[in-house]
């Protein structure tokens, strides 16, 4: 992913490297985009009034896992994580791992594309065919992914500030409808149910896995931990604030009858005659977040697939994956099926990929490194002992020869 070239004057130009804020912006947008879909409604249905605590609990778990992985694999931050696994686990194990991750992001991107398109049709363009919406969306995503990794991060930091301002507006202006009594009981279905929901929804924070894959692309490797803390914390705060406003605004929020919370929040804004009907602002933020999330998902799919089969370039693979995403997006017959698949599989079991996999692989790699270093120390001690014995035997032979010479 990192290339070198000259500018004609003998100066080496390095590409494929990004800054701390750029990568943090990309991971924050990618991790928090689900708030524009039906995720807040499903979470409120499961956790009731305490749903806004769930992202905070999930973030605490992910931050703890981030510190564990960072302490175990601190030396790997200067290199590609997958390449370092090749050395510890051999390529025969890392190839199916990279291929499995590529399939994971491929399926997730396909479901997200279908849900985004169905949401657009339901709320904004009800007369437009689904195929047209998905086709236009994927063409934009394809152009965005072809811009490369640096293009992805730069667009994220440019639109990230705009999206943040828009979210602040969309959460502050509906406060005229906000009622505090709707937040009680504040723990919802109880502490145990809240803890289970927090653990289950760690799959909504893929930053740990992505940081392990992309840490080597940072210009300053010392900021790897900072990127993880920033992206996980910002995503958790954004999700928590949106859920707080959503639950306090709609009495039916905890029953799951509000399909698209952010769109509904934009529709209820009414601050005088001239500040109302701000859905158009929401749609702009919505489409921007969708393009970033889907574009990065497509890029990850191609990059991981190329690494699995040791391909030098990933861009020639992107047209093939765009076609696969288009086909897979139409396998579910309707929007409820898409939401059911996402809720019952990705939200329920994604923690295996985003939490258990990075921590488990870091522990295994550390254990293998410890065994290798222990064998190396034993071998070194054995060679040192042999050298000492040979030196002692040589000294003894010299003394014996000296004695014999004296006796003669």
Distance of alpha carbon 357 from alpha carbon 59, whole angstroms: 17
Residue extents of the structural domains in the chain? 21-350
Q: Return d(Cα 32, Cα 87) in angstroms, integer.
A: 34
Cis peptide before 149 (omega within 30 of 0): no
Q: Are 93 and 101 in contact (CB under 8 A)?
A: no
What crossing angle do the helices spanning 148-172 and 279-308 adopt, rounded to 10°? 150
pTM, 2 dp: 0.87
- Strand-pairing partners, residue 5, are 13
Mean pLDDT, residues 355-362 taken together: 90
Beta bridge pairs of residue 13: 5
Q: Is there a contact between 21 and 164 (Cβ–Cβ < 8 Å)?
A: no
Q: What is the mean pLDDT of residues 23-52?
A: 90
Q: Give me the chain's average pLDDT, please.
A: 84
Q: What is the pLDDT of residue 129?
A: 92
pLDDT given at position 12: 36
Mean pLDDT of 307-325: 93
DSSP sequence for 272-340: SSSSB--HHHHHHHHHHHHHHHHHHHHHHHHHHHHHHTT-S-SGGGHHHHHHHHHHHHTSSSSHHHHHH
Residue whose structure tokens are 């190396």: 376
Over residues 49-73, the mean pLDDT reads 92
pLDDT in tens, 15-29: 468 889 999 999 999
**Better-predicted residue by pLDDT, 123 or 241:** 241
Q: Which CATH architecture has domain 21-350?
A: Up-down Bundle (1.20)
Mean pLDDT to the nearest integer, 149-167? 90
Return left, alpha or beta for 173; rule: phi > 0 is left, psi -120 to 50 is alpha, else beta. alpha
What per-residue confidence (pLDDT) applies to 46?
A: 84
Which range, of 175-179, 245-249, 330-334, averages the lowest pLDDT? 175-179
pLDDT of residue 156 exceeding 80, the answer is: yes
Q: What is the mean predicted confidence (pLDDT) over 53-73?
A: 92
pLDDT digits (tens, 9 = 90+) for 172-213: 888 888 998 988 888 888 899 999 999 999 999 999 999 888
pLDDT band with cut points at 50, 70 and 90 for residue 234 = very high
Q: Which of 158-167, 257-266, 392-401: highest mean pLDDT?
A: 158-167
Q: What is the DSSP letter of 258?
A: -
Q: Is the pLDDT of residue 392 over 90?
A: no
Q: Which residue has the higher pLDDT, 277 or 313?
A: 313
Q: What average pLDDT score do residues 390-399 get?
A: 50
Per DSSP, the chain holds a count of helices (H) and strands (E) of 17, 2
Cα distance between residue 44 and residue 91, in whole Å = 43
Residue predicted with more confidence, 272 or 9: 272
Q: pLDDT tens, 112-122?
A: 999 999 988 88
Give yes or no for a contact between 162 and 288, defined as CB atoms under 8 angstroms apart: yes
Please give the pLDDT value at position 218: 86
Q: Is the pLDDT of residue 304 over 60?
A: yes
Percent of the chain with pLDDT over 70: 88
**Highest-confidence segment of 3-17, 78-92, 238-252:** 238-252
- State the distance between the two ends of the chain, measured CA to CA, in whole angstroms: 76
DSSP label at residue 4: E
Q: Compute the Cα dihedral for 182, 194, 243, 263 and give only its sign.
A: negative
* pLDDT at 404 (0 to 100): 42
Asked if residue 9 has pLDDT above 50, the reply is: no
């Amino acid at each position: 992913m990192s290339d070198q070239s000259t500018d004609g004057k003998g100066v080496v130009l390095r590409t494929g490297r990004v800054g701390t804020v750029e990568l943090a912006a990309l991971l924050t947008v990618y991790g928090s985009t689900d708030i524009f879909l039906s995720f807040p409604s499903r979470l409120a249905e499961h956790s009731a009034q305490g749903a806004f605590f769930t992202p905070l609990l999930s973030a605490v778990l992910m931050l703890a896992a981030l510190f564990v992985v960072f302490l175990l694999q601190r030396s790997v931050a200067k290199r590609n994580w997958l390449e370092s696994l090749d050395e510890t686990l051999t390529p025969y194990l890392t190839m199916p791992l990279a291929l499995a991750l590529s399939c994971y992001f491929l399926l997730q991107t396909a479901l997200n594309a279908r849900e985004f398109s169905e949401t657009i049709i339901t709320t904004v363009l009800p007369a437009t065919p689904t195929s047209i919406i998905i086709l236009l969306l994927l063409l934009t995503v394809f152009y965005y992914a072809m811009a490369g990794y640096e293009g992805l991060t730069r667009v994220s930091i440019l639109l990230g500030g705009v999206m943040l301002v828009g979210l602040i507006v969309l959460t502050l202006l509906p406060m005229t409808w906000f009622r505090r009594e709707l937040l009680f009981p504040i723990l919802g279905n109880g502490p145990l149910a809240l803890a289970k929901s927090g653990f289950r929804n760690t799959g909504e924070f893929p930053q740990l896995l992505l940081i392990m894959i992309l840490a080597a692309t940072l210009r300053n490797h010392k900021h790897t931990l900072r990127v993880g803390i920033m992206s996980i914390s910002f995503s958790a705060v954004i999700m928590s604030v949106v859920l707080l406003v959503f639950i306090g605004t709609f009495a039916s929020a905890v029953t799951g009858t509000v399909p698209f919370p952010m769109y509904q929040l934009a529709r209820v804004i009414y601050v005088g005659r001239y500040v109302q009907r701000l859905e158009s602002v929401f749609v702009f933020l919505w489409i921007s977040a969708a393009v970033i999330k889907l574009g990065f998902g497509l890029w990850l799919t191609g990059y991981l697939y190329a690494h699995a089969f040791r391909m030098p370039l990933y861009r020639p693979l992107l047209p093939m994956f765009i076609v696969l995403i288009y086909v897979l997006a139409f396998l579910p017959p309707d929007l409820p099926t898409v939401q059911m698949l996402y809720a019952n599989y990705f939200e329920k079991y994604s923690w295996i990929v985003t939490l258990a996999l990075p921590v488990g692989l870091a522990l295994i790699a550390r254990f293998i490194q410890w065994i290798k270093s222990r064998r190396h120390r034993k071998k070194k001690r054995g060679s040192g002992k042999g050298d000492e014995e040979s030196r002692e035997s040589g000294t003894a032979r010299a003394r014996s020869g000296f004695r014999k010479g004296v006796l003669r």
